[in-house]
Amino acid sequence: MRKKQVIISATLSTLGLSMLTSIHAHASFVEDSKASLQLRNFYLNSDYRQAGATQSKREEWAQGFILKYESGYTDGPVGFGLDALGLLGLKLDSGPERQNTGLLPVGSDKAPDDYSQMGLTGKIRISKTHLKFGTLIPKLATVAPSDSRLLPQAFQGTHLTVREIDGLTINAGRLTQNSLRNSSSSDDMTVAGSGVSGGQATDQFDFAGARYDWTKRLTTEYNYGHLKQNYKQHIVNALHTLPIGANRSVVSDLRYAHSSDDGNSNVDNKALGAMFTYKLNSHKFAAAYQKMNGATGFPHINGTTSFLVNYVMLSPDFANPDEKSWQVRYDYDFAGLGIPGLSFMTRYLRGDNFERGGSDAKEWERNTDIAYAIQNGPFKNVGLRWRNGSYRREAAAGTI
């Protein structure tokens, strides 16, 4: 199988909402509020050169609007607040034979002209404990909503965060509905993952976890996730930064996950990953290794991004059953040359030791990313990004 994808996007962010009121009881609620409007103009072209493929090309262009409002909290020992999220996607170019890029909903004949979502989030604060309920975009090892297209993925549910002890953060909650990044609806959740089958759509994903910052340079974390009737998952990871001189350091990122079936699914996976990054002034050099064990690949909620170190742009996270994969990566921040806001990234990944179609298979992927954000002036916060990716998968009989 051969894939090639080009992504061009532009982002404009504007910030600012400050209101004053003479009503003291609600002063913090209003004065601490803030709002942001982000505009995303996104073009994506994917070329699938595979014999017999039902769709050899995907190409769409769209405009997105992301409006966020976050209130402060009312005064008193128990504070109350309200957040709002508005999402709108507009089709600029598509076609019946070119849809399904992830930018727009997939229509029976063609992509619709627009789609939208509106969400409200209530919140309560007691000391350093926060409870949110309603529309959520959590960022956890067990559930990481996708934000790599026009609009972000969101969920409905309840999320409790506790920070009463310095250095310790505890998360717990339940998600009940899933709004995909190219959808206007909220639906039950399903499981995704290479080789995963069985299970069923559900309105219950329970999560809990704890992160402890031992120092500014060492953090450890444990997370548990349970997608009812699909899988149970335990994840541990450690992140450490080792300074080795002026403007030099080594960052170690170690990850392990154990996933098992729940209900009728066949989930059976142990995932081990490690990434080491050497930082030298404006340069970053990274290498990663990842190993799958078990009858299936790594499971996660449909539409979300994967926790794995080799989850990248095109491949399904190099997480086929028993697959071994490695990655090399280079980043450069052009601020070191006096051009703040300009960055460059390139990486190469290769995986093997797995089967496809009854044959031994191998796969590789290459990505390049160039981004620039204007730093000041009337166009401050306007960002441009160009991404290119190529993917190949080969079996003993040749390219598949």
Q: Label each residue of the chain as H, E or C.
A: CEEEEEEEEEEEEEECCCCCCCCHHHHHHHHCCEEEEEEEEEEEEEEECCCCCCCCEEEEEEEEEEEEEECCCCCCCEEEEEEEEEEEEEEEECCCCCCCCCCCCCCCCCCCCEEEEEEEEEEEEECCEEEEEEEECCCCCCCECCCCCCCCCEEEEEEEEECCCCCEEEEEEEEEEEECCCCCCCECECEECCCCCCCCCECCEEEEEEEEECCCCEEEEEEEEEECCCEEEEEEEEEEEEEEECCEEEEEEEEEEEEEECCCCCCEEEEEEEEEEEEECCEEEEEEEEEEECCCCCCEECCCECCCCCCCCCCCCCCCCCCEEEEEEEEEEHHHHCCCCEEEEEEEEEEEEEEECCEEEEEEEEEEEEEEECCCCCCCCEEEEEEEEEEEEEECCEEC
Res 29: pLDDT: 78
pLDDT tens digits along 225-264: 999 999 999 999 999 999 998 899 999 999 999 999 998 8
Per-residue pLDDT, 359: 81
Q: What is the CATH number of the domain that holds 19?
A: 2.40.160.10
What is the average pLDDT score of the chain?
Answer: 91
The per-residue pLDDT for 26 is: 58
Total structural domains in the chain?
1
Query: Which pLDDT belongs to residue 20?
Result: 31
Question: Which pLDDT does position 14 carry in this prediction?
Answer: 54
18 has pLDDT over 50: no
Query: Which residue range(s) make up the domain with 300?
Result: 2-399
Is the model's pLDDT at 51 over the cut of 50?
no
Which of 10-24, 156-170, 345-359 has the highest average model confidence (pLDDT)?
156-170
Percent of the chain with pLDDT over 70: 93
